[in-house]
Amino acid sequence: MIVDVAINKPLWKTLDYEVNENIECSVGSIVEVPFRNSTELGLVLGIKKKSSGQYSLKKINKIIEVSFLNKEQLQLLNFMSSYYCCPHGITATLFYSKNFFRESLKKIYGYQITASLNNLNSEIKTKKKKIIEIFQQKKKLSHEDYKKFTNYEKKIINDLLKEGYLKKVIIEDVNDSLENNNNIVKDIELNLDQRNAFECVMKDKNSFKTFLLYGPTGSGKTEVYIAIAKQLNQADKQVLIMVPEINLTPQLEENLKNRFDRKHVCVYHSGVSNSEKKKNYDNIKSGKIKTIIGTRSSLFLSFKSLGAIIVDEEHDDSYKQNDGCRYSARDIAFYICKQKKIPLVLGSATPSIETYFKYLNNNISILNLPKRDLTKSSKILIEQNIENFDSLYKNKIKKLFKEKKNIIFYVNRRGFNPLILCNSCKSTINCKKCSVSLTFHKTGNFLLCHQCNSKSIIPKNCDLCMSKDLVGIGDGTQKIEDELLKSFASEKIVRFDSDEIKNPSKLKFTLDKINNLHGGIIIGTQMVSKGHNFPKIALVLILGSDNALFSSDYRATEKLMQELFQVAGRAGRELNFDSEVIIRTKYPSNEIFKHLINSDYSKFLENTLQERKSLNYPPFSSHVLLRALSKNRKDNFDFLSQALKFAELYKSKDIKIYDIVPCVIEKINGKYRHQLLFQFERKTLMVGFLNKLVEKLNNCKTKSTWYLDVDPKNLN
Ligand code: ADP
Ligand code: ZN
Ligand code: ZN
């Protein structure tokens, strides 16, 4: 018997291998095969009697797992491979991980408490005491959960083990450690709008229908998700609740976990250890786990009986994968729900243009959740940018501090100065490997490239003219922090950006600090707009969002508006007090700020759709980028010129091809980047065209590496 195997290599062909007749092997099985001088895992995509090749075939080494992928998953794999023009072998790796099949995964290590409260040494340090208290409550924790519940410090756990307070144990079941923590938080009674939304979805629970749960942050969307999941779980149906980046939203994870029987819920994302992932995978396949909170990758689980998919913050760009198979998780959720004939619920305060467009075309039902009456709307002001602002706001801040209220400074750039300028020749200091300027980071005192992450020391002279007159330009989060520290105590100021928050435990630490702010300032990048519940925010100050207004990427204003609406939504959430949002801009009369002042996101969407329509941009057409990367421009140019020639050959009048251009960031990490943009009137045209094109491109001799990005989210 011959099997067709897709292996995890960028090969556009599947490979034939031989299998002995008496061995059980089916389509969807995972096998280990010899490849070149090593062995690889592969997925069986077909079985046949004869190979078309001439030469003798290699035999597979062994079958790792028979029928690992089911029929529906194989169908999805084929769809993705063809729609996103990505080799089967690469697409297949979304469905399994090499690590799943390692023997060592069978055991999950954890810790168990040994000492009781009585014999707790009174001299024990508070940090350790805190951890012991956690264990007194939970008794047993897997290593993963331990990291989640504490500000993980390796030394402390080692000490506690040495001192005999804890012992190392093997945990049989992922949820074992949580057995003693089953105090399920009682359900909240849904209000009228929530009930209506819930009932609308449940009415169609046995058919494919898409809903947009449209409501500002805090309007109670999560409660609707929970109600849907609970009802479906009771009918033995699984529910997948998708979130854009679980590492950024531990609050949501905790909230959800506290609402379900912990044995029946799990989180599934790349931050979970392999062994825990595999256990969860198995428990989802067997149906033991009923509610899954997951990121993109959870779409490729093997569900026993999926009853609905919920996509929270559906507009978030993190749902788009940026390497390998560049899929949109929201769109794949759509595919899966259609395939399984189950409802899809998209939730957002700031829905994407695509989703709104589908609603206008009657393909989506809108379920509105108005702001709850508890929260007052905040006053939104647009102010002309004036260079020096500290005196302007100092009094305001002092007043709010007295009232124990908090403030958000939203600054869309991390670091201290985004530019270092030579005052005499006006050149900027740029990264040697990327076509971007270096950002000055005061914390650590270095220059950092935000594209390739390379660090360098601050030069004494300008590279070009040797002048010593170098100055930092522009305000990043560190600069704003620095300014504020001149007037306010450091305990009152929290910086919330990816330099400060490098891992989940640092996030937990920072969120704890924020929750204990009674009159303080949170300075953050777009990270603050992502689902966090900050308490008592009376003022949101938005600084430096102007560059997005003039981006060459037509999506930039949509992203900016989503961010601004989300950040503005952090103000005055849970208390009945007046709150303010102030946007500082050089262009206060820009059209898009009007929608913000009127709190009318839908109006913004409608205007933007008009604009897109006049340009025939998505969602009125489909875009596909062909990107080429190489150490020199000519390779890219030659390759894309060939591609252009082929494309012209297959082109029909419904396909528009733009010029070959360098990407906005022309060079990243030593590689030049160029692109060719295709625009299709109809999707049906697109797939056929691209697959023909790819076949040609595969035979091109080129030094450039290249990829296709279907429905790109980022044109830069
Ligand atoms: P969203 O997901 O839209 O941001 P949540 O569902 O998290 O909103 O709700 C925000 C807050 O309001 C939560 O603290 C939640 O417990 C509370 N809440 C939601 N619905 C209700 C309700 N029907 N009655 C009382 N409180 C509610
Ligand atoms: Zn100079
Ligand atoms: Zn760089």
Average pLDDT over residues 83-90: 94
Distance from the CA of 322 to the center of ligand 1, in angstroms? 33
Q: Residue 5: is it exposed, middle or buried by C-beta count within 10 angstroms (0-12/13-18/19+)?
A: buried
CA 79/CA 714 separation, integer angstroms? 23
Mean pLDDT of the chain: 88
pLDDT digits (tens, 9 = 90+) for 281-314: 999 999 999 999 999 999 999 999 999 999 999 9
pLDDT of 117 reads: 53
Compute how many other C-beta atoms are within 10 angstroms of the C-beta atom of residue 499.
Answer: 16
Position 122 pLDDT exceeds 70: no
pLDDT of 119 reads: 58
What phi and psi values does residue 129 have, to the nearest 5 degrees? -60, -45
CA 233/CA 470 separation, integer angstroms? 63
* Mutational test site, ligand 1, from 189, 192, 223, max ligand atoms within 8 Å of CB: 223
Which ligand has the shortest distance to the CA of 220? 1
Which ligand has the shortest distance to the CA of 256? 1
Does 215 sit in the ligand 1 pocket, CB within 6 Å?
A: yes
pTM: 0.89
DSSP state of 266: E
Closest-CA residue, ligand 1 atom 22, reads 190
Does 374 sit in the ligand 1 pocket, CB within 6 Å?
A: no
Say if CB 592 and CB 557 are below 8 A apart: yes
Position 171 pLDDT exceeds 80: no
Average pLDDT over residues 413-427: 94
What phi and psi values does residue 185 have, to the nearest 5 degrees? -70, 135
Closest-CA residue, ligand 1 atom 17, reads 220
Closest-CA residue, ligand 1 atom 6, reads 220
pLDDT digits (tens, 9 = 90+) for 649-685: 888 889 999 999 999 999 999 999 999 999 999 888 8
Which ligand has the shortest distance to the CA of 570? 1
Distance from the CA of 261 to the center of ligand 2, in angstroms? 64
Choice between 498 and 389, residue whose per-residue pLDDT is larger: 498
pLDDT band per the 50, 70, 90 thresholds, residue 180: very low
CA atoms within 13 A on the CB side of 309: 31
Cα distance from N-terminal residue to C-terminal residue, the chain: 48
What three-state secondary structure class fits 497?
coil
Compute how many other C-beta atoms are within 10 angstroms of the C-beta atom of residue 480.
Answer: 25
Give the Å distances, CA to CA, from 45 to 5, 13, 42: 6, 11, 9
pLDDT digits (tens, 9 = 90+) for 538-590: 999 998 778 778 888 889 889 999 999 888 888 876 666 788 899 888 888 88
pLDDT digits (tens, 9 = 90+) for 686-706: 999 999 999 999 999 999 999
Strands (E), 403-535: 406-411, 419-422, 439-441, 446-448, 455-456, 470-473, 493-496, 521-524
Distance from the CA of 545 to the center of ligand 3, in angstroms? 23
DSSP lists the bridge partners of residue 291 as 239, 265
Position 160 pLDDT exceeds 60: yes
CA atoms within 13 A on the CB side of 49: 0
